[in-house]
Amino acid sequence: MWTDPIFWAVVVLMAVAMEFWAMFLHGRLWHGVLWPTHESHHRPRTGPFEFNDIFAVFHAGVAMFLIIYGFESSHGRVSELMIAAGFGMSAFGMAYFTVHDGFIHGRLPVQFLAKFSYFRRVRNAHKVHHRKDHVGPYGLFLGEWELRRAKKRRIAARQSREVMGA
């Protein structure tokens, strides 16, 4: 398992997929029907935790289930893939917590990340999201990409309206 390239490919693919999953959940559910829970993240925090942290606890539970069940079940390709998926989810969760909660919102001493232009751009894109409660970007690591994509759509829509009006 540890030397299997497929195992590690699944770990990486799951970590990347989690960004798209988080983007979907954040935009469709957290700023939709789950807003009463997520709203705590858009308000000043009064302690070390916020009600919104329940989302991370839920996903950590899923990742732990995949890893533990994968190790405890009969060894085979399916159990290895469950472990790999759990590791990928965990890797994303650790990166997300470090960058989002630690760097952007100051819950961890990781301000050295400001030395890297990529992380400064991630922080700036996230600040756009926090200026208003229900606007993107909803992703974290791809937030800047989301902003560029939205700008291109606005320009195309404006050009389309101009052509139709001409």
pLDDT tens digits for range 58-101: 999 999 999 999 999 878 889 999 999 999 999 999 999 999 99
* DSSP conformational letter for 52: G
How far is the C-alpha of 62 from the C-alpha of 60, rounded, in Å? 5
Cβ-proximal residues to 65 (8 Å cutoff; 6+ apart), any chain: 86
The pLDDT score that the predictor gives to residue 117 is: 96
The pLDDT score that the predictor gives to residue 133 is: 65
Q: What is the dihedral of CA 65, 45, 105, 37, to 10 degrees?
A: 40
Estimate the crossing angle of helix 5-24 against helix 77-96, to 10 degrees. 50
Residue pLDDT tens, the chain, 166 long: 778 899 999 999 999 999 999 999 999 999 999 999 998 998 888 888 889 999 999 999 999 999 999 999 878 889 999 999 999 999 999 999 999 999 999 989 999 999 999 999 999 999 988 887 667 899 999 988 998 988 888 888 888 888 876 5
How far is the C-alpha of 45 from the C-alpha of 135, rounded, in Å? 20
The pLDDT score that the predictor gives to residue 91 is: 98
How far is the C-alpha of 85 from the C-alpha of 7, rounded, in Å? 9
How far is the C-alpha of 128 from the C-alpha of 121, rounded, in Å? 11
Q: What is the pTM of this model?
A: 0.86
Cβ-proximal residues to 13 (8 Å cutoff; 6+ apart), any chain: 88
How far is the C-alpha of 52 from the C-alpha of 30, rounded, in Å? 9
